[in-house]
Structure 1
Amino acid sequence: MPKIAIVGAGPAGCSAGYHLAKSGHEVTLMDKNCFPRDKVCGDGISIESIQAVSMMGIYPQDIRKLASEYAPIDRFLLGISNQISHSEMTQLEAYCIPRFVFDQLLYEKAIGAGCSFITQSVRRNDWHHQGLYDAFDTIVDARGVSAGEVNAIAIRAYWVLKRQDLSQTALIEAQIHFDRSLGVNGYGWIFPVSTQHDLIRLNVGVGVWLDEYSRLKTNIIQLFKQFIHNNETTRQMLSQAVSQQPPKVFPLATAKKGNRVADGKVLRIGDAANLTDPLTGEGIANAVLSGFHAAQAVNMSNTPSAIAENWQYLYESHFEADLRAALRIKAFRKLSSMNYLLIWLMKRNPRVAQQITHAVAGVIPYNEVLTSLKY
């Protein structure tokens, strides 16, 4: 069996490590930080993500049993700040889980499957200098956005509110608010992430794409403050907050065209391969699934060149069509009235509302939405 190094122990790396170790490979999982460790993000775990981690033996009942903080999500709201919104219930359940908690669950699964772990920082594409290229037969690059092509930026803060100050819907609903101050494709979010106790923790943030950010002529912190001030929902929640942590900024590596995910015996997965959803910024599902499919490429191949070729093929087969559909929708939304029209249609057409909500929640792929909306 080949020796495999997985650089980065986030969801993508742990998924690849779990499946490769289960297949009998000698797997070294490395990360620049020891576990448990935090990661700044929106904390949303889509329905597709929940299905993906089930392949690692993590099921919803395990999350409820093992996670110290979580929030089951049964509703998704899409809206335009202070103008129009639509909330739709989903039959399947998503979650919001602080990454400090979620990543630890996946890490423990990878270690339990047989991965060995070391703390090591690997600089960008410096495989030869640090001896990895000669020491291992295959290198899986799962270093996250730092190894990908950054094309978006986001910021999030944690707020704590009393349960009595929130509606029951607010405890189970992931809210996404488009806001012109954030650019055509920019949006703000309000996600409950810990709802088991009397004090409720929310993840509140905004995301903007770099091609629009440069035209906004302000920094991300000011955009965050502007969104909070302009949006009626966030403004009210902030007035009731018991405490709030300072906001933290983080980059995103969303999908791009003409993506190559293999280079020699280096396989890029997750954010390192720009697999984050270009519409919602959700990256967990594709990260976990890319780890699984990269492991399959290793298992079905006899040489490094075959591994690289098969991983590129599996990427194109399982990810590219949906990511291209999302990029087409993103381009379509550049028309100034498109966000409003989209939500207006959702309010008036139950089928459209269900399709859009299920796509955002990760139940159905975007390319199916594009097809269904033609009829």
Structure 2
Amino acid sequence: MRLVILVCQLSLFMRTEAQTPEVCGLSETNRAPENSDITVDCGTQFMDLSIYICPVYQALYNESLMVLNNQINTPECYGTADWTTTPPVLKFRFPMNESSVSSCNNDFKISDQVGTGDFADFSKVQYVNISGTINSVDPSSGMITYLPQILYKFSCFYPMQYLVNNTQLSVSGSSLAIRDNNGSFISTLSILLFQDELYQERLIIPDTGLNLKTKIYVAVKANNLTDRFNVMLDRCYVTTNPDPIQLTYYDLFVGCNRDAQTKVDLNGEKQEAHFSFEAFRFVQHKNKTISTFFLHCVTRLCEPLTCSRLLPDCTTVRRKRAVLDVLPIATVTSPAILVGKQTSGKAQTFSAFNGTPVESNYSSPVVAIIVCIVVLTILIIAMAVYFALYSRQRKPIIQ
């Protein structure tokens, strides 16, 4: 009986070797498995894993014997062989949602850490870590085996707070086995400007600039983002330069401190955040016809159930920070916002109707001197007339 079992095992090994694809015979990866065989792409909606498949065959396994976290009874936890790439790989993909992560028994942990740099004032910053293994399934049914165990460990680490702009954010992603990997848990964050409180009509800024006090409605949106997280704004400010790291800036709101004309309508409740403010001019642009500035927002992602907990505590006093502490993670910056000198169209019409020029050619001191001269002239003429009349009345009495 032992001889029969040994013969069966030997036949299994020979059959496995015979099934080794011809492409692996010419591949440089036709060797024993190594830690560098795995690549991890920490995507925004999916996590993609790929391992060289030729070392798997070299170890006397195949794609049907490699599975996530030993979940052998779950079909979606197996990979798909791609023989069209050079070298050929075995690919695994699962979406970033709780059901998919739990079905293949991946470890999904959200941790709170103390913020640093520009985020130091915002109580806690959340991070997401997703980890697991790709392991081989030994087909041997006896008490012993001659097959080596293959085990690839993977991990993705996502920060959830960013200083973002309206450009596409790239996702970093390659790593080795048994090594953590950082990624961006967003695909696109953008700022959109609207002219109505329903956030439907896009704001068109004329070349002459917006009128002062024009209401500007701002939406910060996340696209292609897993539905597990919402968007929350920690701080929005404006600078006179598109670069967010500037000495000259003005905070629309930061934590609980808020400009009087700024109103936050939606924050931390959906995959977009809304607020509004009124158009203004920087004092340093007083000699310019148009005042130009750019809007920046520090944005974080949060779980719907924990967003309210991460909102700033407005019962305590928080200091106002400088923009110089901004972390260079990613940059949400608006297009240029132009504001003219006029307040509104109605004000211009009223001035023209009354014949009052917009800007006088005389300064206030000159006008005051002219008024004084006119008053003195009138007073002197009046005195001269008075003395002339008085003299005529006195002459008959003297005679």
TM-score range, shorter chain: under 0.3
Instruction: Return the TM-score normalized by structure 1.
Output: 0.23
Where is the helix percentage greater, Structure 1 or Structure 2? 1
Q: TM-score when scaled to structure 2?
A: 0.22
Larger strand percent: 2
Radius of gyration: which is bigger?
A: 2
